[in-house]
Amino acid sequence: MTIQWFPGHMTRARRQIEEKLKLIDVAIELLDARLPLSSRNPMIDDILKDKPRLVLLNKTDLADPRVTEQWVSYFADKGLKALPIDASSGHRVNEIQPRAEELMAEKFARWEAKGVNPRAVRILIVGIPNVGKSTLINRLAGRKVAATGDRPGVTKGQQWIRVGTGIELLDTPGILWPKFEDQKVGYRLAASGAIKEEILNVEDVAFHLTGYLADAYPGLLQDRYDLGELETLPDPESEFFGDAVVGVMEQIGRRRGCLQGGGIVNLEKASRVLLRDLQTGKLGRISLEKP
């Protein structure tokens, strides 16, 4: 799903979240474990302000586990507890409630001092499109309550979903826009599948991805496409870098039979193969950015 974010959409999305924030105790900021910074809304601190926040790194099944651990430390240094999860399989989703309760400790103590019985923790999930908000809501609810791929600006009556005894979750997530300013961020988002190819050219996305993978995960590229030993790429600033990257893309295309007339590699097809293999995890567990 592609959302065109115009200033009006952003203002509306922000207002909707600010309304919901009044109702809840803890905000869950859902990020993609493969690209936690690029999948972050640029104004998130300003929007959530001092609302207790739990960061969840989703899709860890696709991410490099060592790098995910580095991201957990990165967020810890910033005073944010980050929990790596996989909403598809439910891996570590059961740790969300105790983490949320930890964040509520002060509030619970205040209630207790006033003789008020603690109630369930009220939670809102926020994140950019495709990060897995609906999947997580459905997983927590244990049934399909949230339609995947809903749009900003469409309001419907919202309801609380009871999760076990300790959580009440708003059934509509807060949908935020990603960063657009930085082109590298755009390429990473597109490679992850968060934004569709109509926005960025598929060959450009695959070009940037190949350059990154040949440097960061050469072994995975070699294994998947039977490439033999990959040569170290020239410096990205050098005039030879582009040819070297296209050379790797051509090798991939050749191995996968992406050819057009005259034995020439069809780079667009090769690009789609590479992106699909990355997004479905066939290339291996890959993080697209490191702290």
List contacts with ligand G4P (CB under 6 A). 58-59, 61-62, 86-88, 127, 129-135, 148-149
By three-state DSSP, how is residue 16 classified? helix
3-state secondary structure 190-219: HHHCCCCCCCCCHHHHHHHHHHHHHHHCHH
The first and second tokens of residue 215, run together, are 């440097």
Nearest to 88 by CA among 61, 56, 66, 69: 61
Nearer CB in complex with ligand G4P: 128/244: 128
Shortest distance, CB of residue 137 to ligand G4P, whole angstroms? 8
Least distance CB 86 / ligand G4P (angstroms): 4
Smaller CB separation from ligand G4P, 88 or 158: 88
Closest alpha carbon to 50 in 82, 14, 12, 79:
79
Question: Which CB sits closer to ligand G4P, 28 or 233?
Answer: 28
| Shortest distance, position 115 Cβ to ligand G4P, whole Å | 40
Burial classification of residue 159, based on how many CB atoms lie within 10 Å of its CB (0-12 exposed, 13-18 middle, 19 or more buried): exposed
Shortest distance (Å) from residue 83 CB to ligand G4P: 13
Nearest-5° Cα angle at 39, 53 to 176: 65
Q: Which is nearer to ligand G4P, 38 or 130 (CB)?
A: 130
What residues have CB less than 8 Å from 183, skipping those under 6 apart? Answer: none
* Minimum CB distance to ligand G4P, residue 111 (Å): 32
CA distance 21 to 47: 9
Q: Output 94 or 260, the one with its CB closest to ligand G4P.
A: 94
- Record the tokens describing residue 95, joined without a space: 């740790």
Min dist. Cβ of residue 274 to ligand G4P (A): 17
In the complex with ligand G4P, the residue whose CB is nearer, 180 or 240, is 180
